[in-house]
Chains A and B, each alone.
Chain A
């Protein structure tokens, strides 16, 4: 039933490792996003995909690579993890035809801790 589901919910890993976070939405939305929430709760967009095409790519280190195999999935792969990557990562989706004015639906987040 979950509209936007992310896995894993928690991820603890060592510096230098490579990890992936998966996201799936069952809302039929056309557009998916990755947001990063830092320790002060500030939310910043990282990427956006519309129908498997990258449409927003904010200033994010190229160690972060999103992949959208189909419009219901948007995964985030992170290479060579650094301490500063520790944050909560949120996946979201929206109906592109509404230009986002219908609001975004967010997943419950993945708390990444790099040690």
Chain B
């Protein structure tokens, strides 16, 4: 079975550019999560969706970050404009829903903003 699929695997961009990260959750999963991981702060939840509806975006750092889930099989995380401090690994995860107790993570996108 296909797991959570993220693209791109690596993204290198210059400060000020727009960055779009993509995620395809596991089919049948109702919840989708975007996390950011850095050495200093570990895994931080940015936003999560239940049935395509954003439930909690309190972890989104600032207005430069936005996320959408237009349908059950696709989500995007956009950073515009990007800054060097946005450099991190961004993970998408999905779960069946309910208590969201078992998360399945994608392989992540390594973002470097120069």
A binds B: no
Chain A interface residues (CB < 8 Å from chain B)? none
A-binding residues in B (CB < 8 A): none
